[in-house]
Structure 1
């Protein structure tokens, strides 16, 4: 029985932590945009490394793939932001959050290609 009050107090404390660090929606939107910019910069750096190890034919295929991927990323972010926050103040947060997540995933995929290329 004594565990229940302690457990409840723990849940209440965890629930209050975000409130103590509350930010405005505008600040959260700006942070999401900045996180996306950071991920996009990393993507460009890794992309350049991959391009550097490819022959001309493979470079063209990667460029085509990357253009299609960017179109997908942006369309997916539009869809998800619309589905979760159409017309709302958190639309930019969702939009940039999705773009950031998908960009990080793409970075990981391109890095995996580089690792595989080195192991050949």
Structure 2
């Protein structure tokens, strides 16, 4: 299984002109339309995560910025490995892109919540990284 996210997105976007016309994921009927909708949901969650990550990173002291970068890269590896495991049963099927992207989106939304919680830390709390 060697699916690149960009390949999935491109395939989904190219194969769903009907959805582009209606642009309504609530009415997605075909697998191609569902794939496009899943790609849109993931892109939105990924954008939110990247924005939050950058905001949070700027608040950290230099040493903790580096630690966050290492943690985030490890999280991406975990996310991808976990989703490969969780979607193995549908690998190669037409539903795979939707299930894969839904898995990525769910894990991304969980990571957003984790970073939001960290952003609420106050200076001096022992379970929080040091702020600038």
- TMscore range, shorter length: 0.7 to 0.9
Deviation, 1:117, is 3.4
Provide the residue aligned with 1:9 in structure 2: none
Q: Please give the residue correspondences for 1:84-99 in structure 2 after superposition, counting only pairs within 5 Å.
A: 85-99=90-104
Q: Tell me the TM-score normalised to structure 1 length.
A: 0.76
User: SS of 1:117's equivalent?
Assistant: coil
Provide the residue aligned with 2:37 in structure 1: 31
Distance 1:50-1:89 versus aligned 2 partners, 3 A rule? same
Q: Name stretches of at least 5 consecutive residues in structure 2 with no aligned partner.
A: 1-26, 126-132
Say whether the 8 Å CA contact 1:81–1:92 is kept in structure 2.
Answer: no
Residue by residue over 1:5-60, the C-alpha shift from the partner in whole angstroms, topping out at 9 and shown as x without a partner, is xxxxxxxxxxxxxxxx5610111011111100000000011001110110011011
CA distance in 2, matches of 1:92, 1:46: 26
User: SS of 1:116's equivalent?
Assistant: coil
Deviation, 1:86, is 2.2
Q: Tell me the TM-score normalised to structure 2 length.
A: 0.70
CA distance in 1, matches of 2:120, 2:54: 15
Residue by residue over 1:98-119, the C-alpha shift from the partner in whole angstroms, topping out at 9 and shown as x without a partner, is 0000000000100111112379
Q: Please give the residue correspondences for 1:33-112 in structure 2 after superposition, counting only pairs within 5 Å.
A: 33-83=39-89, 85-112=90-117
Q: Does 1:116 align with 2:121?
A: yes
Residue by residue over 1:52-89, the C-alpha shift from the partner in whole angstroms, topping out at 9 and shown as x without a partner, is 11001101100000000001111111221213x12210
Q: RMSD across aligned C-alpha pairs, in angstroms?
A: 1.7
| Superposition misfits of 4+ residues, deviation over 3 angstroms | 117-120
Say whether the 8 Å CA contact 2:42–2:102 is kept in structure 1.
Answer: yes
